[in-house]
Structure 1
Amino acid sequence: MTRILSLALLASAASFAITPAAWAVSPSQEQCEAGGGTFTRTNGEVKCVTVEEGKNPKFTDTSTDTGQGNSGNKPASSDVCEPTGSQKCPPGQF
């Protein structure tokens, strides 16, 4: 009985030692969330979406930054202002 209990405690301790490394946050995710964005990772592509409300609440500026594996590898970004038809923000709005 003591031997089984000892093995169970050892296995439990080993699982706790490994688990925190699996929960580590990537630098790209930290940077995105620190800037108020929403971070996602899909099939090796990272995406950070940041939405900013303009002086007039009906306007929003959505900024999307992407990268391959991390935000610094093959970076691309897009900026869309809604609800304008041209997707460009009116001057002085932000």
Structure 2
Amino acid sequence: MSSLKRFCAAHWTAKTVAVVASNISTHVYEVRPRKDHRGVNLISDSLPFGRRWYGDPNAVSNAVDYAKFRSRSHRAVIGVYDEAGHVIETHEHSGEFKEW
């Protein structure tokens, strides 16, 4: 099961999962705390190296903003997790691609 389908199945209804999963250009991001308690990791298959590390005081906010920036022409779903692996925030970005 793809990371998009796994994320959606855990948090949304079946109808919403079908709509989001049918959109091929959707990027899925996860913001998870690091095990060494030194900030958070932004994890996604759409990132060049798979993950980015944020260790500053605004780490979660900066990671979410970067995910939205990386997905500026794509739809994005960003989940923020706590240490136990529970989703504490979900952000959606619709993309801003415009045809001329």
| Fold shared per TM-score above 0.5 | no
Report which structure shows greater RCO (CA 8 Å, sep ≥6).
2
**Structure of greater Rg:** 1
Question: TM-score by structure 2 length?
Answer: 0.30
